[in-house]
Amino acid sequence: MCGIFACYNHPNVNQFKPKALKLSKLIRHRGPDWSGNIIQNNSILTHERLAIVGLDSGAQPITSPDKSLSLTVNGEIYNHIHLRTVECPDYQYKSLSDCEPIIPLFQKYDIECPTYLDGMFAFALYDSKNDRIIAARDPIGVITLYMGRSSKNPKSVFFSSELKCLVDDCDDIIAFPPGHVYDSKTDKITRYFKPTWWDQDKIPSTPIDYKKLRQTLELAVRKRLMADVPFGVLLSGGLDSSLIASVAARETAKAAAAVNTDEEIDANEVLAGIDDEGNLRYTGWSKLHSFAVGLPGAPDLIAAKKVAKYIGTVHHEHHFTLEEGLDALSDVIYHLETYDVTTIRASTPMYLLSRKIKAQGVKMVLSGEGSDEIFGGYLYFASAPSPEEFHTECIKRVKNLHLADCLRANKSTMAWGLEARVPFLDKNFLELTLNIDPKEKLINKQRIEKYILRKAFDTTGEPDLKPYLPEEILWRQKEQFSDGVGYGWIDCLKDTSELKVSDEEFNNPKPHWGDDIPTTKEAYWYRCLFDDLFPQKAAADTVMRWVPKAEWGCNEDPSGRYQKTHKDHVKEIEEN
């Protein structure tokens, strides 16, 4: 993964270049391994590289053989072997980069090219012959991308991995919509991602196929082990990260066993990735490493250690103090570019952990984002009035992931040049799971949240297959990540906000906030920290706040432990 910045049709691009390079430097944390830039006509593309695949030959911007097409891309294309060998076999490739096939795909399919990509990506591609730029973002928005315009130079269009590169020059900024492509030829953004589940009013009725669910997730994990560098898994001890870690440990062991240990592998001569038979061709480490973070004695740390021992990972447990968390808040908000309470609470431990992971020589991790949106795993889903409304809320949450969990996972890790991959958001897995009858997903006394996911990996009745997880982990009730790292973290944030924000301040919100008024002192505090870093109105306009569905009688505080289901579960444990 990397950082990109591009400006199309600047009135004086050569004069703008020094500033463009300074703006690109603002996101060098995303790509500390190399920098590149190219100017063609009145446009400039820059790139900050984090080398994961094709280490020696994947520098960007990438150009076509005749130099007419230039590409700057932040992403991982998991089906690049298929694209090279089947879709565009005659193209003169000059690197082993998984992203290079985007150029011949554009030559072949024009703006439909993103449709053929299986991966996470955000890119800008400039066609100098036609003075045209296209930009696209992956289907769910795993990779961050912003688009900006300036009233001073209305014909210019800017693109960047992060908001901070645009706020000085643009007074109109949007979070680029996932699954869409921009074309300067029409000056329009259009949707290319058109899955069958997109219409949230269309309620599916497909029965659950547990075996297919398991196999599809296993393939999604296998794809994401494509790497020429050391990698690991974020292991909170909850269901989602534990399943991903378990599958990844199995797949890593299989890949290692398939390698002839007497034959030295040169990663720069082997195309890392999945072949057309679904086999993993090459992976960076022979044994999986797992990473957990929390306050000492946190629920997640205890569960994560149990999982790691069971699945056989090399486990690394990291602690943070409340003071360290508070000290990092301003930096966290700078990197996240949001003032959303839920995102900041959960991102701070993830941000601190990512720094320690990178210090251990790891460049890529797998993470469990997306499962709660797909399966209705948040505890407030227990209050859904009907299967239809349950499903509609799931689709809504998936569509907004780019403003919440995907933003957190991408920016918390990339703050330190660590790439996070999310198997649950594989587009084939989404196609399968979001077409399942929502009656199968409902939470009730007989079925805990995410029951069908748990059941798919329950090997009871399969004696020849080792269980994926210990039973107490497979059927453990959900903790929100910001709760699981230790309940003291959220309590500390609330107590500190009481000291930071007076009653008088809270009762007199800033005039420029308009209707977006913080409802708690914690939210007020974060908004002030955000405004100090990003005072421009265009910056705040890109932020969405994550809250449970109030119409279902949910507590306004987004923490899972304030939801009725969690309280009932705790009460039951205490009574027994």
CA distances from 516 to 308, 504, 519, 553 (A): 43, 18, 9, 22
Residues of the chain by 3-state class (helix, strand, coil), percent to 5:
40, 15, 40
Task: For residue 205, say whether it is annotated as part of any ligand binding site.
Answer: no
Question: Is the distance from CB of 135 to CB of 176 less than 8 angstroms?
Answer: yes
Q: What is the pLDDT of residue 371?
A: 97
The reported pLDDT for the residue numbered 281 is: 63
Q: What is the per-residue pLDDT across 417-469, written as a single tens digit (0 to 9) for each?
A: 999 999 999 999 999 999 999 999 999 998 999 999 999 999 998 989 999 99
Computed on alpha carbons and rounded to an integer, the radius of gyration of the chain in Å comes to: 23
Predicted pLDDT of residue 192: 98
- Over range 305-321, report the average pLDDT: 96
Return d(Cα 28, Cα 37) in angstroms, integer. 13
**How far, in Å, are 10, 14, 59, 391 from residue 99 at the CA level?**
26, 27, 10, 35
160 is in an annotated binding site: no
What is the average pLDDT across 497-505? Answer: 98
How do residues 219-253 score in pLDDT, each as one tens digit? 999 999 988 888 999 999 999 999 999 999 999 98
Residue 234 known to bind ligand: yes
Q: What is the pLDDT of residue 264?
A: 47
Contact between 438 and 395 under an 8 Å Cβ cutoff? The reply is no
Angstrom CA distances, 400 to 59, 232, 332, 395, 404, stand at 32, 27, 21, 9, 7
Please, what are the domains in the chain?
A: 2-191 (3.60.20.10), 210-475+483-575 (3.40.50.620)
Q: What is the pLDDT of residue 51?
A: 83
Q: Which two tokens stand for residue 355?
A: 């720094």
The mean per-residue pLDDT over the stretch 105-127 comes to 98
- pLDDT given for residue 566 in this prediction: 47
User: 436: which strand partners?
Assistant: 206
Q: How confident is the model at residue 260 (pLDDT cuts 50, 70, 90)?
A: very low
Catalytic residue positions, numbered: 2
pTM score of the predicted model: 0.93
Tens digits of per-residue pLDDT, 24-55? Answer: 999 999 999 999 999 999 999 999 998 887 67
* pLDDT, tens only, 317-332: 999 999 999 999 999 9
pLDDT exceeds 50 at position 268: no
pLDDT on residue 287: 79
Q: What percent of the chain has pLDDT over 90?
A: 80
Kindly give the interhelix angle for 521-533 and 341-359, rounded to the nearest 10 degrees.
60
CA distance 129 to 200: 41
Q: What angle do CA 43, 46, 47 make, to 5 degrees?
A: 155
Distances in whole angstroms, Cα of residue 216 to Cα of each of 473, 494, 541: 21, 41, 37
pLDDT at 501: 98
Are 25 and 4 contacting, i.e. CB atoms less than 8 angstroms apart?
A: no
User: Sorting pLDDT into bands at 50, 70 and 90, what band is 398?
Assistant: very high
| Res 13 pLDDT > 80 | yes
Give the number of other CB atoms < 10 A from CB of residue 188.
10
- The mean per-residue pLDDT over the stretch 553-560 comes to 65
pLDDT of residue 1: 65
Q: Rounded distance, CA 266 to CA 282, Å?
A: 10
Look at 51-55, 300-304, 372-376 and tell me which has the smallest mean pLDDT.
51-55
Grade residue 282 by pLDDT with cuts at 50, 70 and 90. Answer: low
98 marked as part of a ligand binding site: yes
Rounded Cα distance between 175 and 164, Å, is 12
| Residue 567 scores a pLDDT above 70 | no
Higher per-residue pLDDT: 258 or 150 = 150
Is 367 part of any known ligand binding site? yes
